[in-house]
Structure 1
Amino acid sequence: MIAVVTSWNSPPQDLTLDLGEIHVWRVSLAQTESCLQSLQQTLSADERTKAARFVFPKGRSQFIVSRGALRAILSRYLNINSHILRFDYNPYGKPSLIFAQGGDTLRFNLSHSGNMALIAIAKNRDIGVDIEGINPNFPCLEIAEKFFSPLEHSVLLSLPEHLQPRAFFTCWTRKEAYIKAVGKGLSLPLNQFDVSLAPGEPPALLNIEENPEEASRWSLMELIPSSDMVAAVAIAGDCPKLHCWQWTWEF
């Protein structure tokens, strides 16, 4: 699928999610103190414990907003109060709703970078999302040599220097989105599969070394959350219809 330069719209009041849709929510992690306090009250005891472990207030606030917004968004689809939502975690730490609250149907994934988070939601299909800020001073070639596949590293080297940072983070988000969709964490080595990354090249999972046929089971989509950020969504099956919503805290 070609890159999607998205517009982030306000969701309708009668929000629904069809089988052939993906919804991606953009969340600002810089919220007011009153919003922060309200969201914190919706968190579970273990989430509050995790929040308290953050040394710096900014990290603590961002965790509270991202988890609180996730709860608020999921509650809209399920018509369940956000504070009673409960999550299970697979052996690699990927969260899902408990079975009784739709965990067998509603799938989601969350990623954040800087002051922004993305939450991707689908029905009956595994999904992953990743967002990264483009840092022009990041040692892209050095990191790519260690963690990217030989093909990806070669493509990155072939690009003009001024295009390499965006291409690097484009590649990184696509790889992370796929790993998060599969739900196996870094037990799936980053250099064992290939994704597209060259400017203008459609997002795609090109090859998986252990199982070449597996690549055709997945679709990648590119999102542009802001001018200095890139993001990607990976989903099992064909690319469905994509809606991008802007989350705002409601009293």
Structure 2
Amino acid sequence: MRTTLGQDVAGIASGLDNRAIHVWLLDYQRSLRREPLCALLGVYLGVPAADVVLREGEYGRPELIQPWRDALQFNWSHSGDKAIIAVARDVIPGIDIERTRPRPKVMELAERFFHPAEAAALNVLDHDQREEDFLRLWTSKEAVLKALGRGLAFGLDRLHVALKHEGAALRWLDGEDASSWQLHALAVGGDYRASLAWRGPPRAIDIWTLADDS
């Protein structure tokens, strides 16, 4: 659903509870930096965008300062000319979006950085399917690691994601109970792939496209 930043978003934001995660897809310009993110978070918090203050967590993950951090959690990602933002209460979401493009060194990257079972699964595929599944694995793994709060430095080989026809499943995460995690592919359209993850019980995922209100 397409909506604009303002009254429509305020109404949606007011309905966020611990049964759902809100996901917003929007156009992105690198020159704007975090302005679109702060504008959206400001609507959820009921404050002007200029008053939204973020800090870097222990491993560089942006988060709200207190007292907002206990009330609202978020994560965002951008690639090409698109950004995606996840907003939640009582769980920490991780989200990743990537634009499809030729990746000639897919197997080299997978064998070097991925879990061995993931590299083996990619190796038996034809070229086009291998590039598609590599991107699905990448966004899945990034989403989990961002929800964990660690990022890529944690190690892409320290989790195992198995791809399924309808999505992906987290099979193993070093030091964690993988069965307590949720992992979902997001239908964002076009030449983009995106994934959302969080630790906790299942929730509804509500997705909107934030249109330019100029």
TM-score by length of 2: 0.90
Is 1:153 equivalent to 2:119 in the alignment?
Answer: yes
Counterpart secondary structure, 1:203: strand
Q: What is the Cα deviation at residue 197 of structure 1?
A: 2.7
Give the corresponding residue for 1:174: 140
Say what the alpha-carbon RMSD is for the aligned residues. 1.7
Shift >3 Å, 4+ stretches: none
TM-score by length of 1: 0.77
Give the corresponding residue for 1:42: none
Q: What is the Cα deviation at residue 142 of structure 1?
A: 1.1
CA contact (8 A) 1:133 1:230 kept: yes
Is 1:118 equivalent to 2:81 in the alignment?
Answer: no
Q: Distance in 1 between matches of 2:198 and 2:95?
A: 9
Q: What is the Cα deviation at residue 186 of structure 1?
A: 2.9
CA contact (8 A) 2:142 2:152 kept: no
Amino acid at match of 1:222: A
Unaligned runs of 5+ in 2: none
Say which of 9, 13, 30 aligns to 1:62: 30
Give the corresponding residue for 1:14: 11
Q: Distance in 2 between matches of 1:95 and 1:70?
A: 11
Is 1:236 equivalent to 2:199 in the alignment?
Answer: yes
Distance verdict in 2 for CA 1:177–1:86, change over 3 Å: same
Percent identical = 34
Give the corresponding residue for 1:203: 168
Q: What is the Cα deviation at residue 97 of structure 1?
A: 0.9
1:1-251 pair list within 5 angstroms: 8-10=1-3, 12=8, 13-15=10-12, 16=14, 17-29=16-28, 61-64=29-32, 66-100=33-67, 102-197=68-163, 200-208=165-173, 210-211=174-175, 214-250=177-213
Amino acid at match of 1:71: C
Aligned length: 208
Counterpart secondary structure, 1:246: strand
Unaligned runs of 5+ in 1: 1-7, 30-60
Q: What is the Cα deviation at residue 151 of structure 1?
A: 0.5
Q: What is the Cα deviation at residue 131 of structure 1?
A: 0.6
CA contact (8 A) 2:24 2:85 kept: yes
Q: What is the Cα deviation at residue 113 of structure 1?
A: 0.6
CA displacement 1:137-196 (0-9 Å, x = unmatched): 432111111111000001111223221111000000000011111111234110111012
CA displacement 1:220-244 (0-9 Å, x = unmatched): 1101322311110011112311111
CA contact (8 A) 1:9 1:244 kept: no
More strand as a share of residues: 2
Q: What is the Cα deviation at residue 85 of structure 1?
A: 0.9
Counterpart secondary structure, 1:27: strand
Distance verdict in 2 for CA 1:130–1:138, change over 3 Å: farther
Amino acid at match of 1:175: K
Distance verdict in 2 for CA 1:202–1:186, change over 3 Å: closer
Residues 180-189 or 115-124, more deviating: 180-189
Flag the structure with larger Rg.
Answer: 1
Q: Distance in 1 between matches of 2:121 and 2:179?
A: 21
Q: Distance in 2 between matches of 1:133 and 1:192?
A: 24
